[in-house]
Structure 1
């Protein structure tokens, strides 16, 4: 899928998308929303102050995609503890950090995915496609949402580093992961060109 973002005069970006591309991005964003789950406001009491100070979970999520989207702050790849005591300390710090930040992180990711869906729903496709135009703030939201979508798909494909990505290019067409790989690579191209439009 050849679509790529181009900068707009005065800031922002534009990309021509056909109906299939619009449908794919929208579907992936909806799936991401379902995975992230509802916001605290959906179950919270009527007191907005209580919601503001609501604590999040202290344990990392069990789903590997959510683990990638909400990683531990003080542990993970490249962060090794020298002793069992240090490992326990890292877990405690990670739990405390997660408790006070994960709700906000989820809300931000949810809002970015919703921004993608809303902007796609606002398009008026004609002749099989439409041109999506984003202002600078929308471009930032799209960039963060595209990153989350790629992290989610990459997690399902077991992509950890650049070498794993290189292997994806060599998958045979009959491999059942091929459609997901194509979406992952295409979203990467969109993300890369959107980053370029945001550079001064």
Structure 2
């Protein structure tokens, strides 16, 4: 189980993580939260319930794609840049941002709940619902890192052969490791 998710009895997924892996995953998820941006400042009553459940139906979201290439990958246009694309974005991006924030926050909370053992590692066990949140966040992290690394299908092979002196090397290693985690988590969900 070290380093990759495996299915466990009862339909859950588990992965053994050491302190460094926990720290890296948590740090990346927090950076993703910062990239996506804060949620609504006062969207509820304080008890987890929205003040007005229908208020979101009348809120307008952004109509233009984000300027940051990583955000543009996370929130792509649904259509060629047209009035339809702007309208679609206006009514969907806020909800998509909220879901991505919720997924990344669930990842941070699950990592924070781990109790590392004597050797500094812990086993993270996820329910099916948590696994789906993790899958979304792992995908978002890979999209973000891939955007920062300017990954294209043709260039991915080049990333495997970077010299240690290349400043992109740590990001590439994280990108590839997240891909392995993502792939192994998908495999556990298909069992």
- In 1, Cα distance between equivalents of 2:43 and 2:187: 40
Alignment correspondent of 1:189: 180
Contact residue 13 and residue 139 of structure 1 kept, 8 A: yes
Q: Is the contact made by 1:73 and 1:94 (CA closer than 8 Å) also made in structure 2? A: yes
Instruction: Give the unaligned 5+ runs of structure 2.
Output: 45-50
In the alignment of these two chains, the number of paired residues is: 183
Counterpart pick for 1:49 among 49, 54, 68: 54
Please give the per-residue CA displacement for 1:69-122, whole angstroms capped at 9, x wherever unaligned.
Answer: 0000013xxxxxxxxxxxxxx421110100000001001100010010000000
* Aligned-residue CA RMSD (Å): 1.4
- Within-5 A mapping of 1:66-81: 66-75=71-80
**Given the two structures, how large is their TM-score scaled by the length of structure 2?**
0.91
Quote the offset at 1:51 in angstroms: 3.3
TM-score of the two chains, using structure 1 as the length reference: 0.87
Q: How big is the shift at 1:164?
A: 1.7
Equivalent of residue 146 in structure 2, options 138, 147, 154: 154
For 1:108, the equivalent position in structure 2 comes to 99
Larger fraction in helix? 1
Partners of 2:43 and 2:63 lie apart in 1 by 18
Matched residue SS, 2:82: helix
Cα deviation, residue 47, structure 1: 4.1
